[in-house]
Every structure is written in structure tokens, then in C-alpha cells.
């Protein structure tokens, strides 16, 4: 019979796993992450714990993915796969689960990246309307699956604002980056770029334009 402390840790691990699974199913990913983190710690206190630890790594990686923490998700899922390769049957369902989770991490990120690349291509071809639509689509997808804190969200904002600048829609460019200047260096540069572009266009049409429009400039 296993010592009482070992049984207690195994029971604790099961409880954390079950509670984490329930939270994950309910869409409470932050709570699921916390519970699966506790499950990882409990599993480490179990003798011959490779199966439990790999399971908890997997589950924690899935929670990270759905929270938009893709770097953390990739790291822990890679750790799970390495552990399974060393201690479990590579053909097991546990391995399939880990590989599927990791594949979903890459698919989610690259799906958004692909839309951005299409937007860049259309902008390079001067198809600004199409580039604008693609940037908006990418922003929507990024907000849904990667969250606004992800680098790609800043990429979308700067890309969309740049399309507006190309179309001489400066107020739209301004409203796009308004309140988002903390996301990236690119966002911080857009107001300056808009201002320079507007000044150049005004000067070419009216030598006194900069003076006349000075009060209207908000950057």
C-alpha cells in the first residue's frame, strides 16, 4: 500500500485536474490555468508521476493557448511531448493530445499572420481598400484568439492606420491609433508620419497652409 502522503498527493492531483477541466469547459481559462498549475505541483510530489505530470503539462498548455499566452503554451507543451517521448508510449492518446494542442498553437498564430501578410501584399500593390479590409479582419481575429495584448494586434493597428494615410484619411488614421500608442513603436510613429505627410501636402498647395492649419493639428 502506498504511504498516506503519496495517496494524499494523488488525490490532490485528481481534484485539481477535475476542477481545472470543469473550469476549462466553462470557458474560465484563467481559473483553469491556476488549477492546472496546482495540478503540476501536486504531480511532482507523486512517485512515478510521469503520466500525471505529462497530463497536467498538456492541460496547462491548452489553458495558456486559450488565454493567448502562446509562448508559454509552446514551452510547456514541448516539455510535455519530451516527457511523453521518454516515459510513455509515443503512440498513446496522451502524445496525440499534446501534439494536437501544439499544432493548434501554431495554427492560431499563423492564421492571423497570413492575413497580415495578405494585407501587406495588397498595400504594396496599392490595393489600399483590400488591404484595409484584411487588416480589419486580422484585428478581429487577433482580438478573438490572441487578445489585444499580442504583438500582432499592434501590427494590425499600424497596418490599418498606414492604409488610411495612403488614402489621405488622416482622421481615420488618428482614431485607429488613439489610445493604443503603448502597443508598439510603430503606433508611436504614426502621428508623426501623418503630421509630416499633411504638412508636405499643404505646403505644396499653399505656402501659408502650415500657418492656417496649425491650430487644427492634434499631433
Q: What is the pLDDT of residue 46?
A: 81
Q: What is the pLDDT of residue 219?
A: 28
Q: What is the pLDDT of residue 7?
A: 67
Low-confidence ranges of the chain (pLDDT < 70): 1-7, 145-147, 179-219
Q: What is the pLDDT of residue 2?
A: 46
Pair 190, 177: CB distance under 8 Å? yes
Pair 35, 19: CB distance under 8 Å? yes
Q: What is the pLDDT of residue 195?
A: 52
Q: Which three cell numbers stand for residue 171?
A: 482622421
Which distant-in-sequence residues (6+ apart) come within 8 Å of 81 by Cβ? 95, 98, 99, 102
Q: What is the pLDDT of residue 26?
A: 93
Q: Which three cell numbers stand for residue 45?
A: 510530489
Q: What is the pLDDT of residue 155?
A: 79
pTM (2 decimals)? 0.59
Domain with CATH 1.25.40.10 in the chain: 4-88, 111-216
Whether CATH 1.25.40.10 fits 4-88: yes
How many Å is the Cα radius of gyration of the chain?
25
Closest-CA residue to 166 (of 211, 212, 120, 217):
120
Q: What is the pLDDT of residue 187?
A: 46
Q: What is the pLDDT of residue 184?
A: 43
Considering the four listed CATH numbers 3.40.190.290, 1.25.40.10, 3.30.1950.10, 1.10.274.10, the one that applies to the domain covering 111-216 is 1.25.40.10
What is the SS3 assignment for 82-128? HHHHHHCCCCCHHHHHHHHHHHHHHHHHHHHHHHHHHHHHHHHCCCH
Which distant-in-sequence residues (6+ apart) come within 8 Å of 80 by Cβ? 54, 57, 58, 61, 98
Which distant-in-sequence residues (6+ apart) come within 8 Å of 79 by Cβ? 57
**pLDDT tens per residue, range 145-171:** 666 777 778 878 888 888 888 888 888
Amino acid at each position: 500500500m502506498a504511504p498516506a502522503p503519496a495517496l494524499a498527493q494523488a488525490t490532490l492531483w485528481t481534484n485539481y485536474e477535475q476542477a481545472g477541466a470543469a473550469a476549462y469547459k466553462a470557458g474560465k481559462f484563467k481559473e483553469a490555468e491556476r488549477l492546472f498549475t496546482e495540478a503540476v505541483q501536486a504531480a511532482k510530489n507523486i512517485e512515478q508521476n510521469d503520466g500525471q505530470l505529462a497530463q497536467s503539462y498538456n492541460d496547462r498548455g491548452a489553458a495558456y493557448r486559450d488565454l493567448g499566452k502562446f509562448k508559454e503554451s509552446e514551452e510547456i507543451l514541448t516539455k510535455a511531448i519530451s516527457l511523453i517521448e521518454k516515459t510513455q508510449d509515443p503512440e498513446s492518446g496522451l502524445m496525440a493530445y499534446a501534439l494536437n494542442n501544439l499544432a493548434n498553437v501554431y495554427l492560431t498564430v499563423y492564421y492571423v499572420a497570413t492575413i497580415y501578410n495578405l494585407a501587406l501584399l495588397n498595400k504594396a500593390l496599392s490595393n489600399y481598400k483590400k488591404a484595409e479590409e484584411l487588416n480589419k479582419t486580422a484585428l478581429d481575429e487577433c482580438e478573438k484568439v490572441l487578445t489585444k495584448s499580442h504583438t500582432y494586434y499592434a501590427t494590425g493597428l499600424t497596418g490599418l492606420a498606414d492604409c488610411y494615410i495612403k488614402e489621405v484619411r488622416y482622421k481615420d488614421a488618428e482614431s485607429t491609433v488613439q489610445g493604443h500608442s503603448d502597443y508598439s513603436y510603430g503606433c508611436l510613429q504614426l502621428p508623426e508620419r501623418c503630421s509630416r505627410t499633411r504638412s508636405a501636402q499643404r505646403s505644396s498647395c499653399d505656402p501659408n497652409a502650415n500657418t492656417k492649419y496649425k491650430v487644427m493639428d492634434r499631433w
